[in-house]
Structure 1
Amino acid sequence: MTSRILSLAALTVLELSPPDMVSCAAEAGYSHIGLRLLPATPTEPQHDIVGDTPLLRETLARLADTGVAVSDIEILRLKPETCVADFLPVLETGARLGARDVLVAGNDADPVRLADNFARLCELGAPLNLAMNIEPMPWTEVRNLKDAAALLASANRPANAGVLIDAIHFDRAGCRIEEIAELPEGVLRYAQLCDAPADKPRDIDELLLQARAERMTPGEGGLKLAELLRALPATLPLSIEVPQAALARTVGAVERARRLREASERLLERVFGA
């Protein structure tokens, strides 16, 4: 059993409603959970949880009953047409849930506008004690760690701006382990753990399929997870983000989540010792 915080990411059990995700995390042995308040794609389930809704109140009740804590909320996309102020209800809901981190995607090819909106988002989250974490993804305009570092430098909001490293995106974007040490101190607040085949996808369709629906259990694929984990801060919380759509057809959410937690703990023990 690791002393490091392991959080169950929403994408891992996306078939569940937010309150059921909380119950699933508790049953599967997690202390924390990440909740998706806004869908990442138009085809995903969308839950009426932003604002003082019945679903939010049910989620809060499950958190209180189980003792599970919310680590992060997602996903805020910064697009050319984004009005950052429109995200305030989402951030207020996240703060009410007890979250401290927000996952942000950069979907704007104008670097000046993107940095300005990211800075505004940081300012909006600051009074709520929320940090904005840009997640580099190879199909977005913030593709890699270099792009993320440039965005943070331009936005210049060090108090609550972070970078979120996801193991599969880190590999698929061609990032190097050495780049992690080059990031400003304190910008890594949590990371996402998963595994994937060593061979990189042949096209964008395969890239998106792996990332959104078919990742591998940590320690069972070909990513260089030991090197990545050793390069990250030793106590950095890990969000276990492993969607497995094919397996989900025959194995329930709680059992999948439990297997992933146990595999992640075994991996951490192999890398760092008991």
Structure 2
Amino acid sequence: MTDRTLGLAHLSLIELTPPQLVEVAAGAGFEVVGVRARAVTAAESPFDLSIGSPLLQQTVERCADLGVSVQDVEFILLNGAVTQDDWLPMLDTAAALGAQSVTVAVDDPDRDRALGAITGVVADARDRSLTVTLEPISYNSLHSLPEAFDLAQHADCLILLDALHLLRFGATTDQVRRVAGRVGLVQVCDAPAQRPADKAALVAESRVERLAPGLGDADVTGLLQAVAPEVVVSVECPSAIGRRTRSAQQWAQYLYDTTVSAIKEAEEGHDD
């Protein structure tokens, strides 16, 4: 066990509906979940979590029945074409789920336009008692920790740190420590040191080829030691190979156990 709040990110078991994700997470010992309210790729099944939808109501009821809460809803990709009409429905869904935060990623090379959009999302989120976490992603235009921190400061939002992307864009533990005061959520997994050859391979790794915490070369221990103990740790670890011999429930339990082990290792390192 650990005193940290542990969450299961939807991408770890993206084939599950949100109510099914809640059930599996509860069975494995997770306290919170991250919900993918919008399909990101054609391979994903879209979930109708719009206000008034049966699936939204079922998810809320399952959370209440099992004592699991929704930590984060993902994600809004600001690419220069997304407008308030696109993000408001997701914010409304997040509020209805009782989520704490909504994840925003940026794939827009125009910094001023991106900052304007982030600021707009932050204002609308605040109206719904939601926090925005800005996630730098290795294959998007926003793919560095210093730049994410700069945008987050200007937009007055928080940052989401994903262990895989930190490894892939070469963030250091010192950089993590410098931005730790703005970290609102940490996502853990692992990966080999060797960087995929191109963007397509980076995307594939991110979506279906991650390793459980402790099985690769990412500095998961350093990441956990650098952020405050009250920051929620969510395991985001989709793996086609890992799922070959494990059911959804078995995979969730495996991720819970490996994440707890990683946290214990980080805490023991602090004691040293």
**TM-score w.r.t. length of structure 1:** 0.94
Q: Report what 1:215 is aligned to.
A: 210
Q: Which amino acid aligns with 2:4?
A: R
Q: 1 CA distance for matches of 2:198 and 2:51?
A: 39
The corresponding residue for 2:155 is 157
Aligned residue for 2:265, secondary structure, equals helix
Q: Do the aligned residues in 1 keep the contact of 2:212 with 2:255 (CA within 8 Å)?
A: yes
In the aligned structure 1, how far is the partner of 2:41 from the partner of 2:147?
Answer: 23
Q: 2:134 aligned with 1:172, yes or no?
A: no
1:188 counterpart residue number: 183
- Structure 1 stretches of 5 or more lacking a match? none
User: Equivalent residue for 2:192?
Assistant: 197
**1:244 aligned residue:** 239
Counterparts of 1:196 and 1:3 in 2: how far apart (Å)?
A: 25
Q: Counterparts of 1:86 and 1:196 in 2: how far apart (Å)?
A: 33
Q: Is the 8 A contact 1:194 1:217 kept in 2?
A: yes
**Match for 1:169: what amino acid?**
H
Provide Cα deviations, 1:231-268, integer angstroms capped at 9, x if missing partner. Answer: 12123210100001223233111110101101111111
Q: Is the 8 A contact 1:122 1:131 kept in 2?
A: yes
Percent of aligned pairs sharing the same letter: 33
Output the CA distance in 2 between the equivalents of 1:152 and 1:200: 27
* Equivalent-residue separation in structure 2 for 1:60 and 1:184 (angstroms): 31
Q: How many residues align?
A: 269
Quote the Cα distance in structure 1 between the aligned partners of 2:149 and 2:22: 33
Q: Residue 65 in 1 paired to residue 65 in 2?
A: yes
Worse-superposed segment, 219-228 or 114-123: 219-228
Tell whether 2:220 aligns with 1:225.
yes
How many angstroms apart in 2 are the aligned matches of 1:212 and 1:120?
28
- Structure 1 Cα separation of the partners of residues 80 and 263 of structure 2: 40
Q: Distance in 2 between matches of 1:174 and 1:264?
A: 22
One-letter amino acid of the structure 2 residue matched with residue 201 of structure 1: P
Aligned-partner residue type, residue 93 of structure 1: T
CA distance in structure 2 between the aligned counterparts of 1:205 and 1:86, rounded to whole angstroms: 26
Which residue of structure 2 lines up, in the alignment, with residue 33 of structure 1?
A: 33
Shift of 1:184: 7.2
TM-score normalized by the length of structure 2 = 0.95
Which residue does 1:13 correspond to in 2?
Answer: 13
Q: Which residue of 2 aligns with 1:104?
A: 104
CA contact (8 A) 1:51 1:90 kept: no
Specify the alignment match of 1:256 in structure 2: 251
> Is the 2:180–2:227 contact (alpha carbons within 8 Å) kept by the matching residues of 1?
no
Question: What CA distance in whole angstroms lies between the structure 2 residues aligned with 1:86 and 1:227?
Answer: 36
For 1:266, which of 243, 261, 264 is the aligned residue?
261
2:249 alignment partner AA: V
Q: Which amino acid aligns with 2:177?
A: A
Q: Deviations over 1:66-109 (max 9, x none)?
A: 11010000011111111124321211111111101111110111
Q: Does residue 1:55 correspond to 2:50, yes or no?
A: no
Correspondence for 1:144: 144
What is the letter of the counterpart of residue 248 of structure 2?
A
User: Contact (CA 8 Å) 1:168, 1:223: kept in 2 or not?
Assistant: yes
Alpha-carbon contact 1:73-1:102 (below 8 Å) kept: yes
